[in-house]
Chains A and B, each alone.
Chain A
Amino acid sequence: MRKIGFMKKVGATLVAAMMTMSMAGCGAVAGETSSASSGDTVKIGIMSDTSGDNALTANVEAFQLAIDDLNAKGGVLGKKIEPIFVDGQSNTQRYQELAKQLILEKNCAVVFQDGTSANREACRNVFEENKSLLIYPTFYEGGVASRYCICTGTGPEQSILPMMKYLVDNNRASKLYILAADYNYGQISAQWVQEYCDELGVEVVGTEFSPLGTSQFSSSISKIQDSGADCVYTLLVGAAQCSFFDQWVSAGISDIGLASTCNICYSYEHTKVDGLSGMISAANFFEEMGNYTDTAKNFVEAFRAKYPDEAYITNQAEGAYTAILLWAAACEKAGTTDTEAVIDAFDTDEIVVDAPSGKVSVDGATHQAKLTVSIMEVNDDNVLELRETDSDIEPTYLKDLGIDIRVSDPQKQFSPLEDGLGK
C-alpha cells in the first residue's frame, strides 16, 4: 500500500511538472487583459525557440539587451518596454496559439518572432486577421509582402546573390552542389541559389534536401563526391543538421569548398568544428565583425559584458537587437505605439537606425530592410576573416515584382517557385 501511495505521489509530481513546463512554454496566465500601453509601460511579445532543435542562438538575450538599453534611456515615448517572452519549443504547431495569446490575451503592441520561416508562415495570418504587427528579424528566403509583417533581416538578393557573385569572381565555384534543409526556407533558398547560378553561369550538379533533425550525412557526403562539384552550398538548419560539418571534416575532402548564407553566421560551426578553414559565409552580422567596425565592436562588448557565457553572437541575435531599435524608432516617429500608426511610420521610408551591422532602414513599399552584408572566410585558427562588405544593399525582389504594400496589400509570400519570374 505504501508503495502505491508513493507511486501516486511520483505520478502526480511528474504530471504537475509536465504541466508546469508546458504552461511555462505557453506563457498562458489567464485573466490578464490590460491594454498594450497602460500607464507607463508598453507590452511587446517575443516568440522564439528557446528549447529544442532550433534553440541555438542567443535571440532572447539580444532582445533583452536592446530593451534594457532603451529602458535605461527612458523607454519608448517615455514608457518602459515590458517584454513577454514565449518559447515555441522548436514546434511550428505552437506558433498560431502563441500568436493569439500575445495579441488577444496579452494585448501586445507588437510581436517579434525570431526563428524559422516555417514558424513565421504558420502564424502570419493571425497577425493579418487581427490587424496586429509582426516583426521578423531573421535572415530569410524573401518574398513576404504584407502590411502587418515587417522583415528586417536579409533576403536572398542581399545574401545569396552577393555570395554567388563572390564565389564566381574568385573562381571558387563552377560546379555547385546544394544541400538544404527540407522546409520552406531551405526549398525556396535553394531555388534562389539555382536562379543565381543560371544567371552567373554556374552549373548546379546536385540538389539535396535533408529532413530537419537529420544527423547522419555520410550518404550526402558520398553523393557530393560523386557529383563532381567543386563547392557545396549548405542551407542546413538546426542543431542536428550541424553534424554535417563534423562528418564532412572527418571524410578529409580537400578539393571541394563550402559556402553558406545560413551556416557559420547562424549556427557558428567554425567555433565547434575544427577544420572548416576556407568555408565562406555571407550575412549582415558575425561576432567577428567586432574586429572590423566600431558599431559591431560596441555591440559585442555590451553583449559580452552582460552575457559572458553565450557561445556566439549570431546574425539572428543582432537582428533581434536591431528589430527592437527599428520598432522604437517607428514609435517615436508615429508618436504612439498603436499598430496602424507605427506601420504608417515605417511606410514613410524614414525609419533608419545605426545597428551593430551598420545602417539599417525599412523600405515602406515592401516592408523589407536595406542593410549591409559582409562575406567572411574561416581561417586556419577557426576565426572569421572579412573578405568583402557591401553597404546599403536594397531589397529588390518585391520591387521588381511591382509590389507596393501601401497601394495594395497582397498578404502573401512570393517565391521564384510561383511568381512567374523564375522557371
Chain B
Amino acid sequence: MFAYFYQFIDSVSFLVLAALGMAIIYGMMGITNMAQGELIMIGAYVTDLTVNLLGLPLGIAIACGALFSGVVGLILDRLVVRHLYDRPLDSIVVTWGLSIAISQLTFIIFGSSMKGIAIPFGSFTVAGKSYSYYKLMLIAIALVLIIATFVVFKFTRFGLHSRATMQNREIANSLGVNADRMNAGTFMLGAALAGLCGGLYLPAMALTPNYGDSFLVQSFVTVLVGGADPLIGTVFAGGGLGFVEGILDMRLNTFYGKIGILLIAILFIRILPKGFSGLYNSVQMDIKTRRNKRGGALA
C-alpha cells in the first residue's frame, strides 16, 4: 500500500514542480512557453556547476540555479517574448525555436553529459522495501511552493496587480499598473520556478543538454489539463494526473503511464477545453447564480 502512495506522491511532485512555472506564465500572460524545459535545464546546469566547481552545498546551489534561470527568463522576456504578448500562437513557435537554440548551445559549450551529483539524505524501509527520503522532500517542497504561490498571488501587491493585468490589461494599465513590468516579473518568476525544479531533480536524474525534454511533455499536459488558473489548475491536474500515472505505472508499466496521461489530455481537450480551472469557474458561477436567485426571491 505504501508503495502506491509513494508512487502517487512521486508522480504528483514531478508534475507539480515541472508545471508550476509554466502554469504561471500561461495563466498570467497567455503565453505557452515551450522553452520552459530549457529553463529547467539551465537551473540544473547552474546547480551542477555550483556544487562541482565551487563546492557549495546543494541547497544554496539549487537557489543559485533558480535565480540564474530567473535572470535568463527576464532576458528572454525583454529580448523576445515581450514582442509576443498579444500573439499567443506565434509565441509557441518562437519559444520552441529558443528551446532548440538553448539546448544546442549548451551541448556545444558543455558537451554531451555532466557529472551529476549524489542524492542526499539516504533511504528508509517500509515493509521490506527501500525508498528515498529525497523524494519525500520533493513533495514537501511542491506543497510549500503551491502555498507560497497562493500567498503571493492572493495577498501581495504584485499578486493583485498581476491578477488585474491578467483580467484586463488595458484597464489595469489605465489604473496605474505597469502591465509591461508585471509581465516581465511574472515571466521571471515562472522561469525561476523552472530553474528550481531543474535543480531539485538534478540529484535524481542524468544531466544532459536534453534534460528539459523529460519535463516538457508532462508540464505541458499538466497545464493543458489544469487550465488558466495556475493554482487551481496545477493542484487538480497534478493530483489527478499523478493518481492515474501512479496507478498505471504500478499496475502495468511506465509505457501505460505515459499513454494514460496523453489520453487524459485528449479527453480534456474534447470535453473540458478550459481544463480544471474552467470547471472550477463554472461551478463557482453556478453557485453564485443560485445564491443570487435565492436572494432575488427573498427580496
Residues of chain A having any CB pair with chain B under 8 Å: 3, 6-7, 10-11, 14, 17-18, 21, 51-53, 55-58, 182, 208-211, 213-220, 222-223, 225-226, 239-240, 242-243, 245-247, 249-253, 269, 271-275, 309-311
Contact = CB atoms under 8 A, between A and B. Distances in A.
Contacts of B214: 213, 215-216, 240, 243
Given A246-B206, A247-B205, A251-B132, 13 more contacts: A14-B97, A17-B97, A21-B104, A51-B104, A56-B208, A57-B112, A219-B250, A219-B253, A220-B253, A222-B7, A243-B206, A245-B206, A250-B204
B294 to A, nearest CB: 49
A318 to B, nearest CB: 17
Contacts of B204: 243, 246-247, 250
Interface string B43-73: 0000000000000000000000000000000
Interface in B256-296: 257-258
A210 B204 CA distance: 17
Instruction: Give the top 10 A-B pairs by smallest Cβ distance, nearest first.
Output: A252-B123, A219-B249, A242-B206, A250-B119, A215-B214, A250-B132, A239-B208, A243-B205, A274-B118, A272-B116
B210 to A, nearest CB: 6
B229 to A, nearest CB: 26
A249 B118 contact: yes
Interface string B203-227: 1111111110110000000000000
A253 B97 CA distance: 42
A56 B113 contact: yes
A215 B214 CA distance: 6
B254 A310 contact: no
A242 B112 CA distance: 13
Contacts of A223: 250
Interface string B110-133: 011111101100110000111110
Nearest to A239: B208
A208 B255 CA distance: 10
B134 interface: yes
Contact of A222 (B6, B100, B257): B6
Contacts of B203: 246, 250
B253 A209 contact: yes
Contacts of B101: 17
Interface of B: 3, 6-7, 10-11, 14, 80, 83-84, 90, 94, 97, 100-101, 104, 107, 111-116, 118-119, 122-123, 128-132, 134-135, 203-211, 213-214, 246, 249-250, 253-255, 257-258
Contacts of B84: 7
Given A210-B255, A246-B116, A222 B129 contact: yes
22 contacts: A10-B80, A10-B83, A10-B94, A11-B90, A11-B94, A14-B97, A52-B210, A53-B208, A53-B210, A55-B107, A55-B210, A56-B112, A211-B255, A213-B214, A218-B10, A225-B128, A240-B208, A243-B205, A252-B122, A252-B123, A272-B207, A275-B118
B210 A240 contact: yes
Contacts of B132: 247, 250-252
A225 B130 contact: yes
Nearest to A13: B97
Given A182-B255, A247-B204, A252-B130, A216 B10 contact: yes
Contact of A251 (B113, B131, B208, B258): B131
